[in-house]
Amino acid sequence: MSKTATDLNIDESMIDTVLAGDIDFNGTMKFSKELMIKGRFEGDIDATGHLIIGPDANVKATIKAGVITNYGKVNGNVTATERLELFKNASLTGDVDTPELVIENGCHYNGKCAMAEKKHEHHPIPENNQQKDKK
């Protein structure tokens, strides 16, 4: 018996877009907010937002997103610019590139993983705020 979003304490009303379980989508997807896939997707995902892959979802794609949360099945290379989360019963077959990786006991992962440091924005102090040397 598969888990539902309710079983996982996911409040779908807080997610901007939900692709329902009966959707079979092929193509390229781009988004900047939160998106949850509950059905089948094949293609490419190029996003800056949070991608949630539901427990019954089947995704065959090259994925790039800010945060990727996986409860379902993913086949393809994954780049999470902020964090990748793999939860119990999730599966991921493909290479991963992310600065932060969370793996829950009971998930399946098969691939290579590269972890670079998180990129922090550098905000230089404006010159007029710096103390000037007194002579």
- Using the predicted structure, report yes or no on whether residue 8 has a pLDDT greater than 90: no
- The rounded percent of the chain whose pLDDT value lies above 70 is 79
In angstroms, the CA 65 to CA 56 distance is: 20
Query: For residue 105, which amino acid is it?
Result: N
pTM over 0.85: no
Give the three-class secondary structure for 51: strand
The pLDDT tens digits for 18-61 are 788 898 999 999 999 999 999 999 999 999 999 999 999 999 99
User: What's the distance, CA 72 to chain centroid?
Assistant: 12
